[in-house]
Structure 1
Amino acid sequence: MPTYLQSITSFTDVPVTDAGVDTVTFLKASEGVVGIFDLLGAVTFKAVKDDMTGNIAKVRKRYTDFPDKSATLEQLVQNEWTEKARPATEGLMWLLRGLLFTCKALTYSQNNKKAGKQAELVDAFQQAYGETLKQYHNLIVKGLFSAALKWCPTRDDFFRKLIGADSVSAVSEDALANANVEMDEWLAALNAIVTRLQAFYVEGKYEKGPFKG
């Protein structure tokens, strides 16, 4: 049976050319991140999951309405920028922030585990939240996030779900090692795409629209 990361479109599968990041494949890969939050705990990450789902929908609508102008995310943003309303540009901006939050958290967990340090997800997600989404939230939302993140599953239980095992004890060393390799590759590709697109937003000043967070 395939692992969760094998069953979804990976960011390693997203074509990136001189013209930019392929829109359709990127959105499919982003939907895979939404599914990650189901494994982590749908209640704990409901706000992030709902936000990402809504922003994916905004970008997809733009692509559906103007496919000839939206083959890559960069083309989509550049073409929409000439208009007064820019829902897809705003949606992609917030989607990238959510993806960065996820990427940083899981990367911290991976790196700490390799270094033999405490690698519980609650610590990794709290650190990532402080470096990414927290700056955009008011005091009420910050409090809700802080409380919710305390309900993160253990790292072992999360990887059990990734692998599809019935219990932590049923996870073999080989399966765990392979899952860690898959996770590292997935995160590296995700980080590369997010970094590229955030640089594109900064260079084009696309994050400074009327919707600025």
Structure 2
Amino acid sequence: MTERSKFEYRLGLLKKLTKTYSDNPEKYTYLNDMVLHEKEKGGNVATDALLWLRRALHFVYTFFYCIVEDTEKGRKTEDLVPFLKKAYKDVLERYHGWMAQQLFSLLSRMCPTRKDLLLNISLGLENREDFVIRDMSRFLGGLEINIQALSAFYIAHDLESTARV
């Protein structure tokens, strides 16, 4: 399976989650309900989709955390590639095979600079870096709680997978 087809597969999983929810929103008020129902039936579409969503959010969390921490230490490093690579190594690398790792290494070179990333997050408004970092820090608090809750749910219900893709 190519990297593009893996991405399309995961995007398809998220669409299936959305459709399953839309078909019966009362039954699937929470994603946990959908995953547990699916587990009872022996399926894994929702389980896999939510697992990869959690990993992606954890990756974003780690990347943003590095940026916030760097700023708080007064460094304001422009080259974000080391932060991106740290997030990848800490969160996703263990789940990726050789090809995916090589692709990430190549794509990470296209990481924007700190200035460009923060400008994009601020919707193009100049001189908003302090506000973006402040909001990013607040966002990380809520995101961390959700990542931890999903991780605990997966462990409690024996849903965690260490399979490589």
CA contact (8 A) 1:52 1:98 kept: no
Q: Is it true that 1:59 corresponds to 2:17 in the alignment?
A: yes
- CA 1:77/1:212 → structure 2, altered by over 3 Å: closer, same or farther? farther
Q: What is the match of residue 93 of structure 1?
A: 51
Q: What is the match of residue 142 of structure 1?
A: 101
Quote the offset at 1:47 in angstroms.
9.0
CA contact (8 A) 2:61 2:140 kept: yes
Q: What is the match of residue 41 of structure 1?
A: none
Q: Is it true that 1:124 corresponds to 2:80 in the alignment?
A: no
Given candidates 91, 115, 123, the residue that maps to 1:164 is 123
4+ runs of 1 displaced by more than 6 Å? 46-49
CA distance in 1, matches of 2:76, 2:139: 22
- CA 1:109/1:132 → structure 2, altered by over 3 Å: closer, same or farther? same
Structure 1 unaligned residues grouped into runs of 5+ = 1-45
Quote the offset at 1:86 in angstroms.
2.2
CA distance in 2, matches of 1:131, 1:51: 24
Q: Is it true that 1:203 corresponds to 2:156 in the alignment?
A: yes
Quote the offset at 1:52 in angstroms.
6.0
Q: Is it true that 1:71 corresponds to 2:29 in the alignment?
A: yes
Quote the offset at 1:81 in angstroms.
1.1
- CA 1:96/1:181 → structure 2, altered by over 3 Å: closer, same or farther? same
Q: 1:206 is paired with a residue of what secondary structure?
A: coil
When normalised by structure 1's length, the TM-score is 0.67
Q: 1:69 is paired with a residue of what secondary structure?
A: coil
Identity %: 26
RMSD, aligned CA: 2.4
- CA 1:121/1:60 → structure 2, altered by over 3 Å: closer, same or farther? same
- CA 1:51/1:122 → structure 2, altered by over 3 Å: closer, same or farther? farther
CA contact (8 A) 1:77 1:88 kept: yes
Instruction: Output one character per residue of 1:9-45: Cα deviation in whole Å (capped at 9) or x when no partner.
Output: xxxxxxxxxxxxxxxxxxxxxxxxxxxxxxxxxxxxx
Instruction: Output one character per residue of 1:40-89: Cα deviation in whole Å (capped at 9) or x when no partner.
Output: xxxxxx89975764443232122123322210122221112111222011
Q: 1:109 is paired with a residue of what secondary structure?
A: helix
- CA 1:60/1:67 → structure 2, altered by over 3 Å: closer, same or farther? same
Structure 2 unaligned residues grouped into runs of 5+ = none
Given candidates 133, 136, 147, the residue that maps to 1:180 is 133
Quote the offset at 1:92 in angstroms.
0.4
CA contact (8 A) 1:105 1:124 kept: yes
- CA 1:50/1:121 → structure 2, altered by over 3 Å: closer, same or farther? farther
